[in-house]
Structure 1
Amino acid sequence: MSLALLRRLLGLLATLAAASVLIFGLLDLLPGNAAQVLLGPDAAPEAVEALSRQLGLDQGALQRYLHWTGGLLRGDLGVSASYGGAPVGPLIAERLALTLPLALLAMALALLIALPAAVFAASRQGRSGDLAVMAASQLGIALPGFWLGILLMLLFSVKLQWLPASGFPGWGGEGGGWAALQSLLLPALALALVQGAILARVGRSALVELLREDFVRNARAQGMSRRALLWGPVLRNALLPVLTIAGLQFANLLAGAIVVENVFTLPGLGRLIFQAIANRDLALVRNAVMLLVAAVLLINFIVDLLYLWLDPRLRGGGRQ
């Protein structure tokens, strides 16, 4: 167990180091002068040169990389040129206060949709219920999240007027946390329907395969009901592939909710990165992207730990 954990931890650190080199290199190779973009095409050359020195663009690539990574290790993410010299860390943290709860809520809704649907379909393999779930999941995969968001907005906000159509009052704003949660329900559901459809198909395939195993027949011969089997040992074993996909999906929810955030006018991390790219704010883009990469790797590391906990066969070595 300790050897497998150590190998995964070393892999996480090595991948983080490689990702930092890749992110810095790709942004450093972008054409154009970031200071010129920030000041505009009509800016005086002296002003552009002064801002370039302020941003550290006059230094060598290696020196700038070491300065950046050293700041990351110290918790100093630098300042944002497009936000008037505001520290990057608080800017990202402020947007994460929306994007992280949105991703968690969407993931929880996706699992609540997917697991019962997968068990229902697997228990009725080849019958009308199974076909209906598979057809609905295929439709959910095919429909884009932003279009689902618009439909949900028209139904629940415009027609029924149950939930707000856009905006985010903040967790400490008028109405408190309940008002903030209500503003996240529709975008989270728009994201969850697509992710839940994928998880339902993966879960159903894993359950159907496991129902053919010998331990299921033995348990049935000993009098265990099919329902208890499905919701017990079969579902527990089927969670392995579902957890893998769910971990990747959660990372995608953090990084890929930009379109849905724009549909519902949510000031999340996705909109912040989009605006930073448009303004050529390299410090903000670099640190925000590194944060997302670290989140993806950390989630995969946690999924690996869950694999080790769920499957004792993996504790003596790497995941097969």
Structure 2
Amino acid sequence: MWEFIIRRTLQSIVVLLIVSASCFYLIHEMPGDMWSTIGMTLEQKQLVDARKHALGLDLPFLEQYWAWLKGLRHGALGLDYQMYPISGYIWKYAQNSLILIGTAWLLALMIAFPLAIYNSRRPGGLSDRAAAMLALAGFALPASAAGIWLRQLFAMNLLWLPPSSMHTPGMEGNLPDLLQHMVLPVATLMLGIVAVYLKFIRSSLQEVLPLDYLQTARAKGVPEKRVILVHGLKNAMIPVVTLAAMDLPMLVSGSAIVENVFNWGGLGSLMVYAALSRNHPLLIAVILLVTALVVLFSWIADMIYLLLDPRIRFGRKTG
């Protein structure tokens, strides 16, 4: 087991290096930057050249990348084009995204799991058909349309909730105010998450429940509730863990639309800003952070596999 853990950890580090180098190279070779769209006088151009020199942007690619890696080793993500330390504010945006996405994800699981378990015991019932319609609506409805519709209904028409932002001006740090502002963006994100997990968990359970070892448990008189929750759910969780490991970091980039609709300052909106403003150092930092999340959750998923079923052999043939 330890050999596998060490191997997966080394693979994760290699993946991060390859992705960061590829991203760094592509953006380095990309024509233009945030100054290229501005008409400049000779003096302004000289100032821009001096700033590029201060940032090391006039160095060859390998020298830039090596300097960036050395800074990364000390937790520094470099400076953006406006000479602000990226690590000084990217963590604030990451924290905002974590609050939004983590809340939506946990609430979605709290809804999807019991509903999927209930429906798997009563396939074709009223609840199962209603859940299927909910899942279809969640798949079909774009997050932007759902967010705009919810904001129009509950914020503009009914005036029950604030329409945007993370807090009311002057009430920064007020928890009840933050929770009130979270309702609409969290609900918007939850629509898609509930739809995915509801369908996925139910399908996984439907594949597991007819298996022989569960039929044997039933024949021995084990209550159906225990058969599902103790024996069936454990094996059904394996593909769900894979989905969760890939879904959580993907929500960071997918939440960009929701964050922009509700003016929520998170990584998604920061990525959009960095791309549109051609702030390449900032864009590299955000992409690397999202990639690190993907790799981290993939690694965690593999560790959970070992806990769920130690018989699984990764990358080995069983004889």
TM-score by length of 2: 0.92
Name the CA distance, whole Å, in 2 between partners of 1:74 and 1:21.
18
- Output one character per residue of 1:220-273: Cα deviation in whole Å (capped at 9) or x when no partner: 112222223222221222111111111211111122211101111112222222
**CA 1:88–1:205: 2 relative to 1, 3 Å:** same
The answer as to 2:20 corresponding to 1:20 is yes
**CA 1:174–1:89: 2 relative to 1, 3 Å:** closer
Verify the 8 A CA contact 1:36 1:48 in the aligned structure 2: no
Verify the 8 A CA contact 1:4 1:318 in the aligned structure 2: no
- For the residue of structure 2 that corresponds to 1:36, the secondary structure is coil
**How is 1:295-314 mapped onto 2 (pairs within 5 angstroms)?**
295-314=293-312
Verify the 8 A CA contact 2:33 2:280 in the aligned structure 1: no
Partner residue, 2:118: 120
Q: Which amino acid aligns with 1:257?
A: S
Within the candidate set 103, 109, 120, 1:111 is matched to: 109
- Output one character per residue of 1:171-193: Cα deviation in whole Å (capped at 9) or x when no partner: x9446122212212221121111
Partner residue, 1:8: 8
Is there any run of 5+ residues in structure 2 with no aligned partner, and where?
Answer: none
Partner residue, 1:101: 99
| Percentage identity across paired residues of the two chains | 35
The answer as to 2:27 corresponding to 1:31 is no
Verify the 8 A CA contact 2:116 2:198 in the aligned structure 1: yes
- For the residue of structure 2 that corresponds to 1:164, the secondary structure is coil
RMSD: 2.0
- Output one character per residue of 1:197-236: Cα deviation in whole Å (capped at 9) or x when no partner: 1111111111011111111111111222222322222122
Within the candidate set 227, 240, 243, 2:238 is matched to: 240
Name the CA distance, whole Å, in 1 between partners of 2:285 and 2:270.
12
- For residue 318 of structure 1, report the CA deviation from its aligned partner: 4.0
Q: Which amino acid aligns with 2:4?
A: A
Verify the 8 A CA contact 1:240 1:307 in the aligned structure 2: yes
Is there any run of 5+ residues in structure 1 with no aligned partner, and where?
Answer: none
- For the residue of structure 2 that corresponds to 1:312, the secondary structure is coil
Name the CA distance, whole Å, in 1 between partners of 2:107 and 2:196.
13
Name the CA distance, whole Å, in 1 between partners of 2:36 and 2:133.
52
Name the CA distance, whole Å, in 1 between partners of 2:56 and 2:247.
36
Name the CA distance, whole Å, in 1 between partners of 2:172 and 2:13.
42
Verify the 8 A CA contact 1:3 1:317 in the aligned structure 2: no
Q: Which moved more, 1:224-233 or 1:287-296?
A: 224-233
Partner residue, 2:283: 285
Verify the 8 A CA contact 1:167 1:266 in the aligned structure 2: yes
- For residue 154 of structure 1, report the CA deviation from its aligned partner: 3.0
- For residue 281 of structure 1, report the CA deviation from its aligned partner: 1.4
Name the CA distance, whole Å, in 1 between partners of 2:172 and 2:282.
30
Name the CA distance, whole Å, in 1 between partners of 2:13 and 2:316.
18
**CA 1:43–1:252: 2 relative to 1, 3 Å:** farther
Partner residue, 1:230: 228
Aligned length, in residue pairs:
314
**CA 1:43–1:71: 2 relative to 1, 3 Å:** farther
The answer as to 2:71 corresponding to 1:50 is no
Name the CA distance, whole Å, in 2 between partners of 1:136 and 1:195.
11
